[in-house]
Amino acid sequence: MKKIGLLLGLTLLVGCSAPSAQLKLSSDKENNRASSVSKSPTVSIPFKTRAQASQIEKMGADILEVQPGYLVAIVSPKVTRLLKEKGFTTTPVQVGNGQRNVFDKGYHTYASMVEELKSTVAKYPSICQLVDIGDSWEKTRGQADRDIWALKITGPSKGQKPNILFDANHHAREIVTTELAMKLISYLTTGYEKDAQVKNWVDTREIWIIPMNNPDGHIKAEKGLDWRKNTDSALSNDASFPPYGTGVDLNRNYPFHWGESASDNPSDPTFQGPGAFSEPETQAVRELFKQKKFAVSLFLHSYSNLVLYPWGYSADPTKDDARFAAVARKMASYNNYTPMPESQLYVCSGGSDDWAYGEMGAFSMTIEVGGRKDGFDPPYASMDRFWKENLPSFQLLLKIAHDPWKEKI
């Protein structure tokens, strides 16, 4: 009887989707996953103050999206209980198509990304160099053989060139960001021979692209898991779904004001790690930054349709607030996203932008790609839209790389 009940539940869950999707959910593992999804629903939680939003994050809610006045999160039974105790209300909402990650076959896997990076270098050897900037956490433990790859794109001419970084996929399930980075690589390499503007940017800038900063986590997403952190299991090996307890939130692991406003509970979705730069994935970014002293960096996340800039750790404006706001507004005029400082939603510390700007002096921003209808796992066909709406922002950063603080926009 139990089995029949479960089967009926699954039929409801997959609704009218294609037979292959029903087949996909038929293994025992998937059955377990489906039943835990219903135990940990995706909900909207209203809040009145930024402090309350931070409080919700610290309770262990897996925050997918923050908007003025409310946030959307996956909540485990424990978090639901805590929220109730503190007087918060929760309303179920649908993100994406309502199913958790299905990983459309159009997306790159870690393996197909590496293959494409290598073939790009083979095709454009005069302007591309593939650099292994560090190991994934699993590689450091001898559990896998994954490197963090960066592609350097620059013309053969020597001379002073500003360095600019495009980084994707700190958060594993934010798989559209890897695709945007790969599209940017294709745009710059194929454009070098046929587009005078692209040729000029490539010749006069040193462009670095990290398409997959969190390869171990991406592998989890490739398996259909709604994974956010890396897979560091040293402090928490609670892989129950969702949210997955295992791992460190790489975007809370940077040292600028680390530990001030992020979770110190290893099982939380936003666990900051046992110390700043505790993870090989953030150490790789640190080492590259130290070498290249990037003038500009852009970190790609999803989703929320936002253009974000420092600070994240503090509600105070940076001394460069007017400039950040102007560039963010310009980007928002292209992609129709909402521009704001990261802390305007809620304060959190240990983010890459705060460190890249506050400690390394880069003009550093974040784009949260896509909206709630897209979620983390939209059909690959959505990539055309994401690319079209975000390319002008990438172009703007390339344009101002020589003098990001003053160049006319």
Q: Which residues bind Zn ion (CB under 5 A)?
A: 171, 174, 301
* Nearest Cα to Cα of residue 94 among 74, 70, 69, 66: 74
Q: Which is nearer to Zn ion, 255 or 351 (CB)?
A: 351
DSSP letters spanning 257-285: TTTSSSB--TTSTTB--SSTT-SHHHHHH
Cβ proximity to Zn ion: between 62 and 174 the closer is: 174
Nearest CB to Zn ion, comparing residues 162 and 211: 211
> What minimum distance in Å lies between the beta carbon of 319 and Zn ion?
26
Q: What is the 3-state secondary structure (H, E, C) of 381-392?
A: HHHHHHHHHHHH
As measured in angstroms, the least distance from the Cβ of 249 to Zn ion is 9
Encoding tokens for residue 122?
A: 């083979």
**162 vs 378, beta carbon nearer Zn ion:** 378
Which of 301, 295, 308, 312 minimizes the C-alpha distance to 257? 312
301 alpha-carbon distance from chain centroid: 3
The least CB distance from residue 243 to Zn ion, in Å, is 13
Taking the complex as a whole, the smallest distance from the CB of residue 304 to Zn ion amounts, in Å, to 9
Amino acid at 236: S
Residue type at 403? Answer: D
Shortest gap between Cβ of 386 and Zn ion (angstroms)? Answer: 15
Q: Toward Zn ion, which CB reaches closer, 120 or 270? A: 270
In whole angstroms, how far apart are CA 124 and each of 6, 156, 186, 259? 53, 11, 11, 43
Residue type, 235: L
At position 17, the amino acid (one-letter code) is: S
Q: What proportions of the chain, in percent to the nearest 5, are helix, strand and coil?
A: 40, 15, 45
- Residue closer to Zn ion by CB (options 57, 206) is 57
- Report the C-alpha dihedral over residues 73, 74, 79, 83, rounded to 10 degrees: 30
CB of 27 to Zn ion, least distance (A): 29
Nearer to Zn ion, 65 or 174 (CB): 174
DSSP state of 401: T
Alpha-carbon distance 363 to 69, whole Å?
28
CA-nearest of 210, 244, 238 to 224 is 244
Nearer to Zn ion, 40 or 214 (CB): 214
CB of 23 to Zn ion, least distance (A): 31
Lookup: tokens for 207 = 């462009």
Q: Which CB sits closer to Zn ion, 171 or 205?
A: 171
Q: What is the CA radius of gyration of the chain?
A: 21
DSSP codes, 71-111: EEEE--HHHHHHHHHTT---EE---TTSS-----TTSPPHH
Residue positions counted in the chain: 409
The CB-of-251 to Zn ion minimum distance in angstroms stands at 6
Smallest distance, Zn ion to C-beta of residue 325, A: 22
Q: Which is nearer to Zn ion, 154 or 214 (CB)?
A: 214
Residue 150 or 168: which CB sits closer to Zn ion? 168
Q: How far is the CB of 96 from Zn ion (least distance, A)?
A: 15
Tell me the C-alpha distance between 166 and 184, whole Å. Answer: 9
Strands 306-309 and 338-341: parallel
Answer whether 214's CB lies under 8 Å from 172's CB. Answer: yes
Strand pairing category for 163-168 and 296-302: parallel
Q: How far is the CB of 380 from Zn ion (least distance, A)?
A: 19
